Chains A and B, each alone.
Chain A
Amino acid sequence: MLKFTKFAIILLMAVPITSMAQKSKSTATKKTTTTVARDTTITDEIKDAMTDNIAVVTIDENDQGDGGTQNVSSVLTAGRDPFYSVMSFNFNAFRFKARGYDGDLNTTYMNGVPMDNLDNGFTPFGLWGGLNDVMRNRDVSLGLRPNTFAFGDIATSSSIDARASKQRKQTQIGYALSNRTYAHRLSFYHGTGTSKKGWTFVFAGSFRGANEGYVPGTYYNGYSYYVGVDKRFGQRHLLSLSVFNAPTESGRQAAATEEMRKISGDNFYNPTWGLQNGKVRNASISRSNQPTFILNDEYRFNNRTTISTSISSTWGKRSTSALDWYNAPDPRPDYYRYLPSYQLGNALQQQVLQAMQNDINKRQVNWQGLYEVNRNSFSIIQNANGIAGNTVSGKRSRYIQEERIIDTRRLNFNSVFNTSIGNHTELTGGLSFQAQSNNYYKEVEDLLGGEFYVNLNQFAERDFPSNTTANQNDLITPNRILHKGDRFGYDYDIVIRKSAAWLQGVFKFKKVDFFLAGELSNTKFWRVGHYQSGLFPNDSYGKSSVNNFNNYAVKGGLTYKIDGRNYLYANAAIMSRAPLFDNVYISPRTRDFIQDNTTNEDIQTAEAGYVLNAPKLKVRLTGYFTKIKNQMNVLTFYHDDYRNFVNYAINGIDKLHFGLEFGAEAKIMRNVTLNVAAAVGRYYYDSRQEATVTVDNSAAVLAKDLIYSQNYRIPGTPQNAYSVGLSYRSPKFWFVSLSANYAGNRWLDFNPIRRTFDAVDGLDITKPNEAALRESILAQQKLDDDYTVDFFGGWSWKLPKSFGFKKPTYLVFNLGINNLLNNKNIISGGFEQLRFDYADKNINKFPPKYYYAYGLNYFASVTFRF
């Protein structure tokens, strides 16, 4: 018991003290806080483990062509704030996003270096998936508060301290059983503690796996390891090396329409898999293998000044696979032309419905059929591999499984100093340099019974039948014959360089604290093409021109301390941000064209709040108001009329976010805590966006569309969320908690081309039926309000000495059950398909696709600690 308490105290102290609540802790309250923190720690552990096991899925359709954003978690790491710890965890099922912000407004540092991807701004949580045991030392700063490690982002700024000497001296072996993305988890942790010579070693690893996850056809296979070595030189100097990786392979899930759900009778219908000789095979596999190392040097000049310098590197591949096909019928079972709704007449619809219900090969990928076609596809390729007269013949695959790979190389450098001047001033500042290079390409993963594939663009071939070069993906080696493992399709690098310098002053006085921080940064990026595309021979090969952006950010804030427990504060920031590569290049797979107006985004945000921090009651109430201007986006989707991929380059996206956050934690009786949290926000698109429409095959601008998006709701998060929870913590080291969580005002991501003049052109609003149709085309879909009830429990059992353990040894049991009511009808997210039936204006021709939240799901773990 004593050790456990001590451990908890160590943990707490290891957390850099930043929040005002923690800063103002008096010695008198320390004891109480510590007790609470101990139990919280257990809860956090299980919560971490559980969030690690929630499906991370693509939430938009815009991911064809490369690995997309599949590794983006909508999950925020749980903080210790009474509001955020509830909201981020309990609303997982509803994909709650704090203040409605996109993931790229969060930032995460590890051992002092920024971990965010420079390509899309997201935190790559997957890089350390399964390593919860060494990622627990976290400092999460909410909103616009000052940080000690970086200027920070406007949603959350997290700093993970994974250095060996900051980890527990302990050995731990765990096993967990679950019914989510994975079924089993084995984990191992060993921390040596710091030796007298100043060495600390930490080893951790895990295996996570499932033959089938919660969603049919998905599977999971993930390992992870971590090695940390610290060497302390005297009292002032600490050198740390952390190396980790989490190679993972999983079968993916895809969103589906309601029609497919009805046909299959399953809300978790997943079109990505099929049976191959009776065994489930998934066509869409996600893989990641990107090791990271971080070297950190912390030097304390004196008690006032510290400099922490880090270098990190991450490299390796992540990929998703998919079916590709060449002049063959669409192999996707949920292709709209195959479905009952597409057929003419009730009789045919019934026949097709029956056929699909009776034959799993019509609902799922028909692997047998794909092999059949490939085995019988004899073809002759003239001038193969670009060699005149070289003729190759054989079974040319019509269908293949391709792997869309992003091969990343990253290098980060960051240096931060903290110093205090006098009793009132703390100065912090830093310099950082980040370089990232991503190589995007496709590889043949499986020829599915054929002998070869050819590196040709069938869309160009169809559009330019008389042009013998337009259909070449790469003119450098035309007609290249492809075998398993060969590159094809596209092959280009994006290269990004970002450098920044920042400075922050925090000034503390008896009644008032205030701070001011500023950052200057420069971002450059460009494209390097390795293929000379037949469509754009002059705009595809080699280095593109460099896009250069200079940015500033300023923030400041004021805290008024009414007394030791009541605080009022207000913060504000203005900043500009460079656009993301993904949103600037219109079609980087084929050419280096960029959007016409590549401008910086502008953000203005302010927040103000009240904090009560009493022993039995903690309250936080915050209001915020944020304007984001001039964002860009590029959507790529298949267009029926053009029979090709169309690029929808959007600029002028403005957003407005405002709302209130409330969190309270009250000890209502001995050992019983009541948690209440509410987030009520309004997140709007605040402009009419402009889209430039081009087709992948041509440089010609097909249209300039105005998107009537003003006051459309920002989708993908509940705008109202409420939670009530009761926890009982027994002095006998067990606890249970039950919470109810309600999410409302949820909106579906909308298809911009349905909100254009063309989409409703020709409808006569004086006719009631046409006016109603117009309304239904323009309306944004609101998802039903929903709620879940979740349970957590845990017991830490100190094994009796009589079992023969010489040192304190524990078995820790944890159980978390989410969605106790087993509600399988909660739509967790989705999107409208990026297609529109202009001719008939039938919005049901391309209906929305949804994801459903898991029904009752659990995570049970047992951990052996000594």
Chain B
Amino acid sequence: MRNMKHKQLNWLVLLFITLTTVTIIAACNKKFDEPDTNFPDPNLPVTMTLKELKALLPTAGQVVEITQDKTIAGIVVADDRSGNFYKSISIQDATGGVSVRLDGNNLFNNYPVGRRVYINVKGLCVGDYGGMIQLGAINTSTPTITQTPIPQNLFDKYIIKGSLGNPVVARVFNSISDLKTTLQDTVQNTLIKLDGFQFNAADTLRTYADPSLAASAVNLTLQNCAGNTIILRTSSYSNFSGVQVAKGKGSITAIYTFFNGTKQLLIRDTSDVQFTGARCGSGVSPTLIYKTIQEIRALGDGAIIPANTGIRGTIVSNTQNEATGNYRIQDGSGFGLQLRFPGINPNFALNDSAAVELSGLTLALFNGDLQITNVVNAQKLGTGTVTPRSATVAQIGTNINNWASTVVKLSNVTIAQTSTNTTGTNYNVTDASGSIVSFVRTTLGVATLPANATSFTGYVSIFNGTPQITIRNAADVVAGGGGSTGTGINLGTTSPFIMNFNNIASGAPAGVKVYYGATNTSLGTLGSLNTSLGSWSNVSVGFKNFASATGLTATADQATQDAATNRALGVRQTSSAGYDPGASFVFEIDNTTGKNNVQLQFLLQSLDPSVGRTTTWSVDYALGDSPTSFTAASTTGTMTTSSTFSSNTINVNFGGAIDNKSQKVTIRISALSASTGASNRPSSAIDDFTISWN
């Protein structure tokens, strides 16, 4: 028993010793020492300025290896903290700035703004990006050396970190034109400050960039009150990408860069944008009383708009097809107005909805078009839509004073280029009712318009009393219907459909053709219409632009004929092959879908009383494209032209044969049989071609 106790004592002692040993060893688990960190500048002689460094690159597009054992030093003025700079920092010394490319993310942890860095440039290279000089490492894997960011593990080889918190005073520029875009420009990649700038009105509703990353970077326009602009470029990967821009006016501090001659600013973060003051002018007052454009227009030419008045509407013009600073705005009243911003261009885009302050401005006619100029205060509200008004050219002419600066849509037009200059191209746009001029600026970037269009949309303007129509983009012109046979006649929805041919000086209406050599089974050969003013008694053959017999007498002289605005589509037959017989006026109707009891009425005019022969006309029709057989239609009225000056109303009954056809319906008025009698053949014409239906 005693022995037992002795033994227990032994192991207790051993246990104690073991535990003590263990505890002592455990206590040796000391806390880690922590390194000191303070950053004095290294005692390094700076042997090269940034200006000298950049001078090593004589020409853009090259990459030059630096063989000199030189040290540059600069203070970091831009880092990648916000993500607006990527794999690069910008450093600056007294002689300028340069971008240093570093192959890493979150560089700001080691190279924050304000840190002085010393770079031994031997073994690095200078190159450029769009004219901006960059310092980087040499990539030898390409046929000639190229530049690549400096690898992370070589940062310390080339870059010595210096002191922190060095201030950099941004250099203030008063004029954007003082900023140069030359290769070795001393301002590039330095911190600059511009005072008195704001985002243009159209950009005030935007974010700095596109957080959806649909675009990797976004350009916004900054402008001062004098209207000078410069781009602010922001990466969509920056952490302020989705932040709304500041709406006021003030100073901006940024890194000045350019890309192939385009000046652009890059901010480090949104605190660089101090736009807290009132915008140029007094801004759109929150207490404005808004009027409709109809109410404003009603004030009349020369009216001074009352104080505290504004309008709200949708921009229906595109700056690329307008004079700089000009906008067309239309509102829910269905009226529009031209606005001119001679100073600060708000850069509104098509379909921006905007509020515009008009207080104290003058409503005036300019070339016959109502406008308000010297507009300063406008602000984007969002986007809107305007449904174009469907109209004919004739209706535009009739309603020009109400429709000016509003959007209309023409249907089934032919488009003919009439003249071109350095600014743009004039077109004649013709529908069944007439023609209208459309001017397309080169800046719109729409090369040529198609010869035929099923629809043609644009806003109406007035130039010295004449209506014009202006498209906003290529999508406004929907090509179609044409081809070699031209666009057909769209009867529209309202009966009757009338063609008065008063505009045939600019060509036959869409769907109206002239043929010679027509037979019962053939359209014949497509003829051409001489659009110049014709003479009833002229004996040369051809399809002509005659004065209509309506309102004139057989003895009307040529001056009277030429002055007549009421025109008719005519032909002078001679013995020329295909004209007697064979002259034919062809009307190609797209379809008669949904139309019943379709009837035709037109005036058959006999214009030259000095002839000896009589031509008998007939009306027939065919269905479908490229018809080869025609069915005669019954007519009432005098179907001959001869020496008798006349204008006879002809009624044609198709007996339902062309009702509700979804295919092309061709109606001909032709001289299919030879004329009778001797001497000259008549001058015949068609006018007031009217289709009616139920």
Contacts and interface: CB of A to CB of B under 8 A. Distances in A.
Contacts of B106: 327-329, 398
B37 A465 contact: no
A100 B3 CA distance: 54
Interface string B19-49: 1011001100100111101010000000000
B295 to A, nearest CB: 40
B374 interface: no
Interface in B481-514: none
Contact of A277 (B33, B139, B211): B33
A837 B539 CA distance: 83
Interface in A354-400: 355-356, 359, 362, 367-369, 371-373, 375-377, 398
A281 B35 CA distance: 13
Given A348-B138, A371-B35, A329 B18 contact: no
A368 B151 contact: no
A235 interface: no
A751 to B, nearest CB: 25
Contacts of A423: none
A171 B105 contact: no
A373 B106 CA distance: 11
A188 B151 CA distance: 55
A205 B20 CA distance: 12
Interface stretch (A117-125, A338-346, A432-440, A567-575): A338-346
Contacts of A37: none
Nearest to B6: A806
Contacts of A348: 137-140, 148, 151, 154
A205 B151 contact: no
A352 interface: yes
B553 interface: no
A289 B137 CA distance: 50
Nearest to B7: A171
A343 B138 contact: no
Interface centre among A279, A346, A373 (most CB of B within 10 A): A373
A476 interface: no
Contacts of B446: none
A229 B29 CA distance: 33
Contact of A351 (B154, B164, B240): B154
A348 B149 CA distance: 11
A345 B139 contact: yes
Interface in B211-225: 211
Given A347-B138, A348-B137, A376-B112, A279 B33 contact: yes
A276 B105 contact: no
B109 A377 contact: yes
Interface stretch (B8-16, B427-435, B452-460, B624-632): B8-16
Interface in B227-246: 239-243
Given A171-B10, A277-B33, A345-B141, A352 B22 contact: no
A327 B148 CA distance: 23
A371 B32 CA distance: 13
A329 B32 contact: no
Interface string B97-127: 0000001111101101000000000010000
Contacts of A345: 138-142, 148
B157 interface: yes
B540 interface: no
B164 A376 contact: yes
Interface in B141-187: 141-142, 148, 151-154, 156-157, 164
Contacts, number: 131
B141 A368 contact: no
A466 interface: yes
B241 to A, nearest CB: 6
A223 interface: yes
Nearest to A378: B112
A190 interface: yes
Which of B34, B105, B242 gathers most chain A CB within 10 Å? B34
B104 A329 contact: yes
Interface residues of B, number: 48
Given A207-B25, A376-B164, A171 B11 contact: yes
B37 A376 contact: yes
B127 to A, nearest CB: 14
Given A186-B22, A203-B15, A348-B139, A276 B109 contact: no
Contacts of A342: 151
Contact of B14 (A188, A279, A355): A188
Nearest to A326: B106
Contacts of A173: 14, 18
Nearest to B3: A806
Contacts of A534: none
Contact of B21 (A186, A339, A347, A465): A186
A367 B37 CA distance: 12
B81 to A, nearest CB: 8
A477 interface: no
Most buried by B among A328, A337, A348, A461: A348
Contact of B18 (A186, A369, A449): A186
A328 B32 CA distance: 23
A420 interface: no
A279 B152 contact: no
B241 A352 contact: no
A221 interface: yes
Given A351-B154, A465-B211, A344 B35 contact: no
Interface string A318-343: 00000000011100000001110011
Given A221-B29, A277-B33, A351 B152 contact: no
A277 B30 CA distance: 14
A465 B35 contact: no
Given A344-B148, A355-B153, A367 B35 contact: yes
A375 to B, nearest CB: 4
A344 B152 contact: no
B17 to A, nearest CB: 9
Contacts of A205: 15, 18-19, 22
A369 B35 CA distance: 9
Nearest to A464: B211
Contact of B109 (A203, A359, A373): A373
A520 to B, nearest CB: 46
Contacts of B137: 348
Contacts of B21: 186, 207
Contact of A373 (B7, B110, B153, B156): B110
Interface string A195-215: 000000001010101000000
B11 A190 contact: yes
Contacts of B157: 351, 355
Contacts of A367: 35
Contact of B239 (A188, A209, A465): A465
A765 B19 CA distance: 69
Nearest to B8: A192
A209 B164 CA distance: 44
B639 to A, nearest CB: 74
Interface string A105-123: 0000000000000000000
A17 to B, nearest CB: 32
Contacts of A359: 156
A205 B14 CA distance: 11
10 nearest A-B pairs in the assembled complex, by CB-CB distance: A466-B242, A345-B140, A345-B141, A344-B139, A373-B109, A375-B37, A277-B33, A207-B22, A347-B140, A190-B11
Interface of B: 3, 7, 10-11, 14-15, 18-19, 21-22, 25-26, 29, 32-35, 37, 39, 103-107, 109-110, 112, 123, 137-142, 148, 151-154, 156-157, 164, 211, 239-243
Given A171-B10, A352-B154, A376-B164, 11 more contacts: A171-B7, A186-B18, A188-B18, A203-B15, A209-B25, A327-B106, A344-B141, A351-B157, A352-B151, A465-B242, A806-B3
Interface of A: 171, 173, 186, 188, 190, 203, 205, 207, 209, 221, 223, 276-277, 279, 281, 327-329, 337-339, 342-348, 351-352, 355-356, 359, 362, 367-369, 371-373, 375-377, 398, 449, 461, 465-466, 806
